[in-house]
Amino acid sequence: MPELRRDPIVGRWVIISTERARRPSDFVSQPGVRRSNGPCIFCPGQEARTPDEVWALRPDGGAPNGPGWRVRVAPNRFPALRIEGELERSGEGLYDRISGVGAHEVLIEAPDHDARIEQLPVSHLAEVLLAFRERMIDLARDPRLEYVMVFKSHGDQPGAPITHAHSQLIATPIVPMMVEEELAGGLQHFRIKQRCIWCDIVRQEHGGGRVVIEEQGFMALAPFAPRVPFETWVLPIGHRSSFEETPGEELLALAGLLGELLRRMAKTLGDPPYNLMLHSAPLRARALDHFHWHLEIVPTLTGLAGFEWGTGFFINPTPPEEAARYLRGDTV
């Protein structure tokens, strides 16, 4: 059984997936990136190779776990957390652990093995966002769960052997540290100012040099203090703390902006690998005045020191004003 463990000093929870324990020899060799040419486990007709689906969009009907879907969500075959079992909390002196109860799902974004989300029709990308929302709403019904992390790793990256376009959801019985930090920072600002700090950021940035795209109620922004070159945030301009309360027409507007942003990144930067993360309010905390959901898109560009993630201290050679200018396509 996997377990969640808390660092007693900074309060960071990590998943120790004990049943996937690896021996040192598993790390020694440097395997080449495997690419299958045949249909992969996420391709239509291969549905039986994943666990039974938990959500799918079949516009023309069809039975579950068969072809005909446009977006499909199934449990991860090698889940980091398990949906079965009791939520058990225990202590051991200074240390705290929680049994590894949770959900780990893959969200297959399109049937086509070579699809890329930024090249999908806007309505299809909106359906991907709809799948995020629907899974979050469904997982929120499980009282053991406190948070749903939604993320996407695009491109050649260690640990991401499947290239068929997909995102992942991990639902946890704790709120991850990076969201706790944002909640704390947002609350501190709200207590002093009686305003949401992300709303303040949107107001201050409006029309300025760090805005990449601003349209239909959303803003793509190169943040003031980006950790890495071309880090970009996407925020709704109007205040909303929980992504899962986004109505359908706003998902369509978001899909339009996100697709445009990802196309510009791919073109400007030569299709870099990137991680996309959704930061939404905890499941049990609806309608917070001091939190504002957003997407963070962090490209993994070459020539950057690996020590920066390790140390938590970032040296960024590209000012966000420059990054935004390139992504806007301004003549240089």
Q: Under the criterion CB under 8 A, does residue 24 sit at the interface with a second copy?
A: yes
**DSSP-assigned letters across all residues of 276-295:** EEEE---TT--S-SS---EE
Closer to a second copy by CB, 43 or 160: give it: 160
Closer to a second copy by CB, 253 or 260: give it: 260
3-state SS assignment for residue 60: coil
Q: Report yes or no: 293 and 206 within 8 Å, Cβ to Cβ.
A: no
Looking at residues 153 to 172 of the shown chain, list those that interact with a second copy (rule: CB under 8 A). 153, 157-160, 170
Alpha carbon distance 122, 258 (integer Å): 9
Looking at residues 203 to 222 of the shown chain, list those that interact with a second copy (rule: CB under 8 A). 204
Q: Under the criterion CB under 8 A, does residue 306 sit at the interface with a second copy?
A: yes
Six-digit token string for 153: 């790793």
Give every CB contact of residue 21 below 8 A, 6+ residues apart in sequence.
none
Q: Under the criterion CB under 8 A, does residue 245 sit at the interface with a second copy?
A: no
Give the residue, chosen from 275, 285, 289, 328, that forms a contact with a second copy under the rule CB under 8 A.
275
The distance from CA 110 to its chain's CA centroid, rounded to whole angstroms, is 17
Q: Under the criterion CB under 8 A, does residue 236 sit at the interface with a second copy?
A: no
CB of 97 to a second copy, least distance (A): 9
Give the residue, chosen from 122, 269, 285, 328, that forms a contact with a second copy under the rule CB under 8 A.
269
Give the residue, chosen from 33, 35, 48, 224, that forms a contact with a second copy under the rule CB under 8 A.
224
Give the residue, chosen from 173, 229, 259, 282, that forms a contact with a second copy under the rule CB under 8 A.
229
Alpha carbon distance 332, 329 (integer Å): 8
Looking at residues 124 to 143 of the shown chain, list those that interact with a second copy (rule: CB under 8 A). none
Single-letter amino acid code for the residue at 305: A
Stretch in the footprint of a second copy (CB under 8 A) among 34-42, 50-58, 184-192, 236-244: 184-192
Point out the catalytic residue in the list 164, 166, 292, 294.
166
Active site residue 206: no
Instruction: Tell me the β-bridge partners of 96.
Output: 6, 91
Give every CB contact of residue 271 below 8 A, 6+ residues apart in sequence.
155
Six-digit token string for 203: 């107001």
CB of 69 to a second copy, least distance (A): 25
Six-digit token string for 113: 């093995």
Q: Under the criterion CB under 8 A, does residue 1 sit at the interface with a second copy?
A: no
Q: Under the criterion CB under 8 A, does residue 302 sit at the interface with a second copy?
A: yes
Stretch in the footprint of a second copy (CB under 8 A) among 54-62, 214-222, 246-254, 265-273: 265-273
Closest C-alpha among 216, 213, 115 to residue 167 = 115
Closer to a second copy by CB, 58 or 227: give it: 227
Q: Under the criterion CB under 8 A, does residue 201 sit at the interface with a second copy?
A: yes
Single-letter amino acid code for the residue at 131: A
Looking at residues 25 to 64 of the shown chain, list those that interact with a second copy (rule: CB under 8 A). 26-31
Q: How many residues belong to the site for a second copy (CB under 8 A)? A: 87
Q: Scan for tokens 């050649």, then name that residue.
A: 156
Q: Report yes or no: 155 and 266 within 8 Å, Cβ to Cβ.
A: no
Give the residue, chosen from 75, 111, 173, 223, that forms a contact with a second copy under the rule CB under 8 A.
223
Q: Report yes or no: 70 and 58 within 8 Å, Cβ to Cβ.
A: yes
> Catalytic amino acids?
166
